[in-house]
Structure 1
Amino acid sequence: MTALHPSLTHPSQAEKAARFAALHRDGGCFVLPNAWDLPSAALIAEAGFPALATTSSGIAFAGGLADGEKIGVERMFAVVSDIARRVPLPVTGDLESGYGPTPEHVAQAVRRAIDAGMVGANIEDTDPATRQLFDPDLSVARIRAGVDAARAAGLPDFVLNARTDPVLFNMGGPDAAFAEAARRAKAYFDAGAKSVFVPGLFDLDAITRMAAAIAPAPLNVMVSTGRPMPPLQDLRRAGLRRLTLGGSLMLATYGFTQRLLADLAKPDATFGYAADGITHVAMTRLVEGYR
């Protein structure tokens, strides 16, 4: 593994933003892995992905906290800023609900994201205080405020990925949740979001129908642990544009560790796992290459 040298390869923030926005416009479906710390972000870059996202749940769990804005805005930005500064890929941050209910809260979150070097952000339409969806008109105003803030900051290619949660929470039953998610997704796209995120879609038929219902808005869905996801080629044919790994990559890593530790606790434990790990020298070179 040969680490990149960000001091030599970092494009400008505007160039990163343009590249990231183009991934959403130019057709096809791209996989967007989510990092929770610098080493995971560096591994994503080394694997050759064109961009990366952060995972709010992964960052919270790594900090010993539950998901759902429990980590707080300052600790979240400390992690995502470090990743965006050190990794020469376009980085989009999961900024949860924007750390406040008002349009100005979202605008401030976007401004902070841009100051931190990011070129995109997720903004959810669920109020973490009530676990209810924000009013539709307020939700649209929040998205528009984020888009306007990015333009005012001189980064019009900033990709605001507007997340809508009716399907995730099965609000009103499957049909009603699907219809409400589609209505909100289209409204957010019309308000300037460059991508719309509908978590909770796993069935190929449902993904195909949602992609058609909200076209030309680029659809983003998420891989989740415990839920099968169709192969990438099928998702491309379904019209999906962006497949986010969310917290599943981190949870799979911890799941492997959990199973490994259970085996190591047995009286007949063997230790061949260590031969497959990244060496101490290689990990040192990796993180030092992303200073």
Structure 2
Amino acid sequence: MTQAEKATQFAQMHQPGNPLVLYNIWDAGSAKALVDAGAPAIATGSWSVADAQGFVDGEKLPLEIAMMNISRICKTVDVPVTLDFEGCYAVGPTGVARNVTQAMKMGAVGINFEDQMIGGKGLHSEADQVKRIQAAREAATEFGVDLFINARTDLFLKEANRDWHAGLMPQALERLAAYTDAGASGYFIPALVDPELIGRICEAATIPVNVLMMPGCPSVQELADLGVARISHGPWPYRRMLEELVVRFKEDTSA
């Protein structure tokens, strides 16, 4: 398949009620392992990719290493690959467009794009994030690939007290509408685990809704019943791999 065909195929995998389950990987080897196991698409996780290279999350991994890594993944597997691009390593629309183009040149057909201020506090204003999404969409159009822009809102991730998540819903729904109009392909709501609130967002959305599988989250079937179209596993596959590595090491080297 061409890159454009992979992008189309990837978008079609997002079906409300029959979610695409993405077990986030961190390098070409882990990508190949999942494809060999039957994964129809591959998604990186920024935390895992950074940690695997000795960096912390939050765009501390140099952009050139991130691009090298996604390039190797795309060259290793013949399925759609989406990049967890955090804030696209840029603040202004011009930088966003430049870096999104670079990611597509490496072979990516999708990105996760956060609205939090990387390295700062709070979120980009809705108006600013709209301009950033529009820049990413314009770059994709110019490149000739219908990039799947998974617009992530960090409203819920920034609020550790889940009892207050209901109060964030008006902002979340407003951003959903604004990001959709700006050209987003999907809406990612990490840290929201309340089934009623997830269901409300799915009902309001005209684009696929992505949920992060984490402690306290409904099951895959429950999320499907709510209308979720995509489920991500974030850093947990990598963390479990490390735990298993340490356990095996201790077992095999113990006296």
**In the alignment, what sits opposite 1:139?**
129
Deviation for aligned residue 1:62: 0.5
2:12 matched to 1:14? Answer: no
- What displacement does 1:45 show? 0.6
> CA–CA distance in 1 between the matches of 2:216 and 2:183?
32
Q: What is the match of residue 176 of structure 1? A: 167
Aligned to 1:114: 104
The residue identity in structure 2 corresponding to 1:184 is R
- Structure 1 residue aligned with 2:29: 39
Query: Are 1:239 and 2:236 matched, yes or no?
Result: no
Contact (CA 8 Å) 2:94, 2:135: kept in 1 or not? Answer: yes
Q: Does the 8 Å contact 2:176/2:205 carry over to 1? A: no
CA contact (8 A) 2:17 2:228 kept: no
TM-score under structure 1 length normalisation: 0.82
User: Mind listing any 5+ residue stretches in structure 1 that lack a counterpart?
Assistant: 1-10, 268-291
Given residue 41 of structure 1, which amino acid in structure 2 is its aligned partner?
Answer: A
Aligned residues between the structures: 253
Partner of 2:64: 74
Matched, 1:205 2:196: yes
Give, in whole Å, the separation in 2 of the partners of 1:179 and 1:47.
41
Distance (Å, rounded) in 2 between the aligned partners of 1:254 and 1:180: 37
Pairwise mapping of residues 198-277 of structure 1 onto structure 2 (< 5 A)? 198-212=189-203, 214-224=204-214, 227-264=215-252, 266-267=254-255
**Corresponding residue to 2:185 among 194, 219, 228:** 194
Residues 168-225 of structure 1 show CA distances to partners (whole Å, capped at 9, x for unaligned) of 111893233233222212211111111111110223333222212x32221101123x
| Bigger radius of gyration | 1
Judging changes above 3 Å, is the alpha-carbon distance between structure 1 residues 165 and 26 closer, same or farther for their aligned structure 2 residues?
A: closer
TM-score (norm 2): 0.93
Going from structure 1 to structure 2, the CA distance change for 1:19 and 1:235 (only over 3 Å counts) comes to same
Residue 255 of structure 1 and its aligned partner are, at CA, apart by 2.0
Moved over 6 A (4+): none
- Structure 1 counterpart of 2:231, one-letter code: L
Shift of 1:70: 0.6
What secondary structure sits across from 1:254 in the alignment?
A: helix
**Percent identity among equivalent residues?**
36
The letter for the 2-side match of 1:229 is C
